[in-house]
């Protein structure tokens, strides 16, 4: 096993990886940007080193700086977390060339599956169902139109090297193809270094289902019960759960077995996730994420495993300590991503100073985070600030436990997605398991939260106008009233806080 591991990441995933390292008595090395100098991941590590700079390109994406820290600190392995360089084959190769282990798949496996066009071809060869579409990049809009006409509109254009929904374009008619192809190609050129563009049949209102798998260097590969990740905004997941309320035991075993075949076919080692769209009972392979996923805690909760520990053992050359017939979902787990986003403003980013941060705890719940009161959510990185995970014997009980967990969460400062999650836990469609990637819009939750925010703003505007008019009409009296302590509780901060809460639209306690 390793002696010292550099965690090449930040935020909650860096803290989460370090927790397992500490339990296994492995020393951890943190790295941090100027903006992260005081955050929890720097204090969780055995030692921490600055990257000098703030922007991702000059810090968490700067391979030379990261490798230099790894070498000078004597790290014998690098864990990339997710995002940043976690799926970069050249970084993985550079780590190995420097004599260290990369805790993730090999560069060749990344290239075989990380590219979406190559991934579709490999999945098809392994027997996985693939959505109708091209198995190679398209030369131009004319070729895209020909392929779209063959499989039928609507279709979706994607960059083969893309991710996170960036640059994907839905095309519903032949007349729109030239414009949308040009836009997709421009994004592929600018964001993904000239990546090829390909076309797939667009699946309307599917479920998003994914299978976690892990393979070792001894020819073993296992899969875990699926995760449902259908609740998304702009192709970014908000709520994940395991198992899915829409997948049967038979489908789970069939797709899971094909996923392991795909991993073994390409010589994959370490953890990965195969993503699918599920519509009208049919699965369609989407892509493989060659890394640990944000939502891995729900798998850990229902299967009783530590996926980071499995990653470490496999990367160190050990055989998987778990067999397929020993893996089963026990109960149900749900994860809510707490993002610094304003749901009432179409999930707009909401960086800022955190005045209050109180993460709840209790039986069968878990919060993965990295913030504390007094920290800042900076605009340079992604908006994820915490993950709330709840487990229970049944899905209904897990939803109830999650709702109680969210009600006890206190974050003041940036706007967060907590109101959305609370509303979702009470939504009849969510509780019934009627999920699709259109859930967020179709639930009407963002529209209701926006209406509530608009009503509060209008109430505050009327109150401010009334107060201003009163001061204008009787300035000396108004000043005396404002200066006078509240009767019965002179100077009470609790009374002042209560009045402030009422002015914001809250109820009297």
Is 341 in a helix, a strand, or coil? strand
Tokens read off for 148: 């779209």
CA–CA gap between residue 475 and residue 479 (Å, rounded)? 6
Q: Is 261 a catalytic residue?
A: no
Q: What is the DSSP string of 191-238?
A: HSSS--EEEEEPPSS-EEEEEEEEE-TTS-EEE---EEEEEEETTEEE
Residues 165/235, Cβ–Cβ less than 8 Å: yes
CA–CA gap between residue 335 and residue 240 (Å, rounded)? 5
Residues 308/16, Cβ–Cβ less than 8 Å: yes
Strand partners, 49: 31
Sign, CA dihedral 271-277-279-283, equals negative
CA–CA gap between residue 30 and residue 40 (Å, rounded)? 10
Helix 418-425 × helix 395-407 angle, to 10°:
150
Strands, E, within 219-331: which ranges?
Answer: 221-223, 227-233, 236-242, 270-279, 282-289
Tokens read off for 83: 């995002």
Q: Give the active site residue among 291, 313, 395, 401.
A: 291
Sign, CA dihedral 265-198-61-7, equals negative
CA–CA gap between residue 64 and residue 153 (Å, rounded)? 46
Residues 33/59, Cβ–Cβ less than 8 Å: yes
Residues 18/81, Cβ–Cβ less than 8 Å: no
Tokens read off for 429: 């469609």
| Cβ density class 261-288: b for 16+ within 10 Å, e for less | ebbeebebbbbbbbbbbbbeeebbbbbb
What residues have CB less than 8 Å from 328, skipping those under 6 apart?
225, 303
Tokens read off for 20: 């397992």
Sign, CA dihedral 101-107-109-114, equals positive
Tokens read off for 434: 């009627």
In the DSSP assignment, the letter for residue 73 is T
Neighbours of 322 (CB within 10 A): 16
Catalytically active residues, by annotation: 291
């Amino acid at each position: 096993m390793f002696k010292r591991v550099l965690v090449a990441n930040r935020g909650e995933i860096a803290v989460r990886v370090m927790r397992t390292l500490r339990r296994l008595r492995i020393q951890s090395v943190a790295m941090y940007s100027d903006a992260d100098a005081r955050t929890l991941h720097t204090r969780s590590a055995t030692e921490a080193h600055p990257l000098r700079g703030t922007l991702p390109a000059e810090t968490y994406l700067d391979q030379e700086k990261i490798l230099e820290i790894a070498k000078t600190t004597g790290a014998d392995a690098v864990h990339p977390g997710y995002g940043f360089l976690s799926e970069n084959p050249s970084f993985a190769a550079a780590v190995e060339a420097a004599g260290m282990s990369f805790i993730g798949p090999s560069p060749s496996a990344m290239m075989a599956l990380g590219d979406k066009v190559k991934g579709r071809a490999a999945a098809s060869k392994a027997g996985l169902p693939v959505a109708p579409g091209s198995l190679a990049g398209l030369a131009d809009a004319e070729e895209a139109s020909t392929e779209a006409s063959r499989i039928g509109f609507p279709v979706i254009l994607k960059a083969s090297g893309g991710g996170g929904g960036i640059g994907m374009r839905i095309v519903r008619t032949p007349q729109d193809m030239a414009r949308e192809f040009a836009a997709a190609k421009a994004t592929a050129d600018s964001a993904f270094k000239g990546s090829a563009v390909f076309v797939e049949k667009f699946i309307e209102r599917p479920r998003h289902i994914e299978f976690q798998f892990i393979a070792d260097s001894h020819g073993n590969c296992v899969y875990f019960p699926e995760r449902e990740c259908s609740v998304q905004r702009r192709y970014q997941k908000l709520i994940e759960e395991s198992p899915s309320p829409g997948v049967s035991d038979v489908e789970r075993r069939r797709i899971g077995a094909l996923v392991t075949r795909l991993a073994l076919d390409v010589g994959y080692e370490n953890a990965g996730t195969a993503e699918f769209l599920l519509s009208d009972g049919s699965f369609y392979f989407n892509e493989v994420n060659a890394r640990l996923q944000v939502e891995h805690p729900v798998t850990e909760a229902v299967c009783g495993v530590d996926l980071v520990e499995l990653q470490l053992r496999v990367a160190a050359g050990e055989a998987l300590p778990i067999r397929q017939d020993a893996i089963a979902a026990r109960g149900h787990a749900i994860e809510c991503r707490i993002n610094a986003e304003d749901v009432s403003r179409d999930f707009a980013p909401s960086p800022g100073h955190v005045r209050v941060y109180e993460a709840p705890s209790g039986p069968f719940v878990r919060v993965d985070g990295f913030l504390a009161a007094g920290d800042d959510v900076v605009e340079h990185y992604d908006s994820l600030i915490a993950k709330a995970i709840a487990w229970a014997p049944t899905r209904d009980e897990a939803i109830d436990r999650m709702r109680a967990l969210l009600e006890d969460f206190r974050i003041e400062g940036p706007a967060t997605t907590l109101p959305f999650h609370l509303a979702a836990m009470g939504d009849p469609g969510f509780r019934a398991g009627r999920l699709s990637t259109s859930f967020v819009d179709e639930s009407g939750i963002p529209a209701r939260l926006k209406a509530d925010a608009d009503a509060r703003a209008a109430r505050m505007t009327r109150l401010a106008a009334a107060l201003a008019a009163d001061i204008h009409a009787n300035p000396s009296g108004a000043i005396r009233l404002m200066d006078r302590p509240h009767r019965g509780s002179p100077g009470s901060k609790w009374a002042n806080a209560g009045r402030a809460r009422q002015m914001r639209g809250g109820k009297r306690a």
